[in-house]
Amino acid sequence: MTTRDPDQEELMALLVSVARSDRQAFQLLYKMISARMFGLCFKLAGQQELAEEALQDAFVQIWHHAGEYHSDRGTPLSWMLTIARYRTLDLMRSRAVRRTSGDEHLEHLEDQRGGPLDASLRSAGARQLTGCLDELSDVQRDSILLSYYRGFTHDELAQALSSPVGTVKSWIRRGLMALKRCLER
């Protein structure tokens, strides 16, 4: 994370203003990051309507909680994306969203050893996490990235990866711990 990133500094200044109930700053903040946030919500939910609702909720939360941001929580952008992500996951859970793209993943998996995640995301994620994801086994990495980007539940993962739920759970758990050990090296 680079603290000198001008974008992040601008977002930080906007957050400070939003914490003081500055509506203009809030509108500007929305304009600057709503597309990135919406991209994430949509990727996770896989459907427009739910993603829109999550985006709306996330910004309402940001308005009320801007003052709670601090640098331990990552960059301003990643903090706000995290809010949007949690909100999307909550809505998906409460509506028991089933991804229509589920079947497509299954076929994909049978054809290719590479796993169900598209290559662009895999490499982008790997670069960001300094190659640590690459050190995980394929199944560990895929389980983690599918949970993260697509909000797959344990059950859905078990189905997509044709493995028992218990196995999937331990892939995730061990994968995350291996990731942390690697990130801390």
Partner 1 sequence: MKKTPERIESLAAEYVLGSLKGKARRRFERWMMESGRVRQEVWYWEEKLGQLSERVPGREPPESVWRGIERRLWPQERAQANPRSTRLWPAWSMIATAAALVLAAMLIQQPTLEPDLRLSGAIVQADVSDPLWLVSESSRDSRLRLRSVAATSAQAGKDYELWIVPDNGNPLSLGVIPVGDVYQVKLTDEARETLSQSRTLAISLEPRGGSPTGAPTGPILHVTKLYEL
Decide whether 103 or 173 has the Cβ nearer to partner 1.
Answer: 173
Residue 170 carries which side chain, given as an amino acid letter? S
Whole-angstrom distance, CA of residue 51 vs CA of residue 44: 8
What burial letters (b/e) apply to 160-182, b meaning 16+ CB within 10 Å?
bbeeeeeebeebbeebeebbeeb
Longest CA–CA separation in the chain, Å = 54
Window 94 to 153, contacts with partner 1 (CB under 8 A): 121, 124-125, 128-129, 144-145, 147-149, 151, 153
Closest contact distance (angstroms) between CB of 110 and partner 1 is: 24
Length of the chain: 185
The answer to whether 80 and 38 have CB atoms below 8 angstroms apart is no
Interface pattern 4-43 for partner 1 (x via CB under 8 A) = ------x----------x-xx--xx-xxx-xxx-xxx-xx
Q: Which of 136, 158, 161, 172 binds partner 1 (CB under 8 A)?
A: 172
* Residue 79 sits in the site that holds partner 1 (CB under 8 A): yes
Nearest to residue 155, comparing CAs of 97, 83, 115? 97
Nearer to partner 1, 34 or 108 (CB): 34
Measured CA to CA in angstroms, residue 88 lies from 35, 78, 150 at distances of 15, 15, 10
Residues that bind partner 1 (CB under 8 A): 1, 10, 21, 23-24, 27-28, 30-32, 34-36, 38-40, 42-43, 51-52, 55-56, 59-60, 63-64, 72-75, 77-79, 81-82, 85-86, 89, 93, 121, 124-125, 128-129, 144-145, 147-149, 151, 153-154, 169, 172-173, 176-177, 179-180, 183
